[in-house]
């Protein structure tokens, strides 16, 4: 039974028997895995603190051919979102983890998705604004899934959108300029929001504090991204409902 070791992002856990846990984690090199962490629920477990959602870890596990579950041997914390300076960031941990879990495929290597998640954890710990991080994370996750239009220009007339804003259609997955989109179903994005997306496409999350931001941008993109995510997954995430309740 071969032993594998890699960097990984813990996505969720659930109970197994009286003392164990099933761990779902996204590896940097071999995709999403599910494994048994023996004794993880015990008070003196060697896994204590390392299995929290969205924790960056170094994991070692045994994998047997034709078995759905691997056997987790060691988990060492590399970076924990619980160390974030902004306590409000903690409300987003479950949401980020659930988004990655829904988008990651079993045993399908996706290094870009792993690197996106790991960079978000690093930015959270360094104190980057969680609202900016959330919109950035949603944008890039949707882009990696092929949902977000790759070019921020009108899908029909190819006009630039940074000056006049745009309509974005979740159902059709495209941007439209105000002229082409005025009679179509969709959500309105101001020029400020389009500019944020344009800047976000070229920088890492650690540099988000350097670009323009406002409550208007946050609200517009939150509404647009919620619609795109729900359309793509064909459901609303449980963690999204929880966050909405916390904000009310």
Statement to judge: residues 101 and 179 lie in one domain: no
Statement to judge: residues 148 and 88 lie in one domain: no
Residue 233 burial class via C-beta count within 10 angstroms: exposed 0-12, middle 13-18, buried 19 and up: middle
Q: Of 15, 83, 77, which is closest to residue 51 (Cα–Cα)?
A: 77
DSSP conformation class of 35: E
**pLDDT score at 56:** 98
What lies within 8 Å, CB to CB, of 151 at 6+ separation is none
**pLDDT score at 152:** 74
The CATH number assigned to the domain holding 86 equals 2.40.50.140
**pLDDT score at 141:** 96
Statement to judge: residues 219 and 195 lie in one domain: yes
17: left (phi over 0), alpha (psi -120 to 50) or beta: left
Statement to judge: residues 180 and 229 lie in one domain: yes
Statement to judge: residues 106 and 169 lie in one domain: no
Statement to judge: residues 103 and 173 lie in one domain: no
**pLDDT score at 183:** 67
**How many CA atoms lie within 13 Å of 5's alpha carbon, on the beta-carbon side?**
6
**pLDDT score at 240:** 82
CB 209 within 8 A of CB 129: yes
Residue 246 lies in a domain: no
Phi and psi at residue 173, in whole multiples of 5°? 65, 50
Statement to judge: residues 14 and 96 lie in one domain: yes
Residue 148 lies in a domain: yes
Its domain, for residue 146, covers 142-235
Statement to judge: residues 25 and 118 lie in one domain: yes
Q: Which of 79, 100, 127 is the last residue of a domain?
A: 127
Residues of the chain with confidence (pLDDT) below 50: none
Residue 135 lies in a domain: no
Residue 243 lies in a domain: no
Q: Which of 64, 93, 127 is the last residue of a domain?
A: 127
**pLDDT score at 185:** 73
Statement to judge: residues 189 and 114 lie in one domain: no
pLDDT digits (tens, 9 = 90+) for 141-177: 999 998 876 667 888 888 888 888 888 877 777 888 8
Residue 240 lies in a domain: no
Q: Of 161, 152, 197, which is closest to residue 179 (Cα–Cα)?
A: 161
Count up the domains in the chain and report the number: 2
**pLDDT score at 102:** 96
Q: Of 50, 75, 42, which is closest to residue 61 (Cα–Cα)?
A: 75
**pLDDT score at 10:** 98
Statement to judge: residues 46 and 101 lie in one domain: yes
Statement to judge: residues 87 and 196 lie in one domain: no
Residue 224 lies in a domain: yes
Statement to judge: residues 118 and 146 lie in one domain: no
**pLDDT score at 93:** 95
**pLDDT score at 246:** 67
């Amino acid at each position: 039974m071969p032993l594998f070791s890699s960097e990984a992002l813990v996505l969720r856990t659930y109970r197994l028997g009286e003392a164990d846990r099933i761990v779902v984690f996204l590896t940097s090199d071999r995709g999403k895995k599910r494994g048994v962490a023996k004794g993880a629920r015990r008070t003196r477990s060697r896994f204590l603190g390392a299995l929290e959602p969205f924790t960056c870890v170094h994991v070692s596990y045994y994998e047997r051919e034709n078995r759905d579950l691997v056997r987790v041997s060691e988990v060492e914390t590399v970076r924990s979102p619980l160390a974030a300076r902004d306590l409000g960031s903690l409300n987003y941990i479950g949401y980020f983890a659930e988004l990655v879990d829904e988008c990651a495929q079993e045993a399908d290597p996706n290094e870009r998705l792993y690197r996106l998640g790991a960079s978000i954890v690093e930015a959270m710990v360094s104190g980057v604004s969680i609202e900016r991080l959330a919109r950035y994370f949603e944008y890039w996750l949707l882009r990696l899934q092929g949902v977000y239009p790759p070019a921020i220009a009108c899908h029909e007339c190819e006009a630039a959108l940074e000056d006049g804003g745009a309509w974005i259609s979740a159902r059709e997955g495209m941007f439209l300029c105000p002229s082409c989109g005025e009679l179509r179903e969709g959500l309105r994005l101001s020029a400020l929001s389009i500019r944020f997306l344009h800047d976000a496409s070229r920088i890492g999350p650690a540099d988000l504090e350097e670009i323009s931001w406002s409550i208007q941008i946050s609200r517009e993109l939150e509404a647009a991204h919620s619609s795109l995510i729900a359309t793509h997954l064909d459901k609303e995430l449980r963690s999204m409902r929880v966050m909405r309740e916390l904000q009310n």
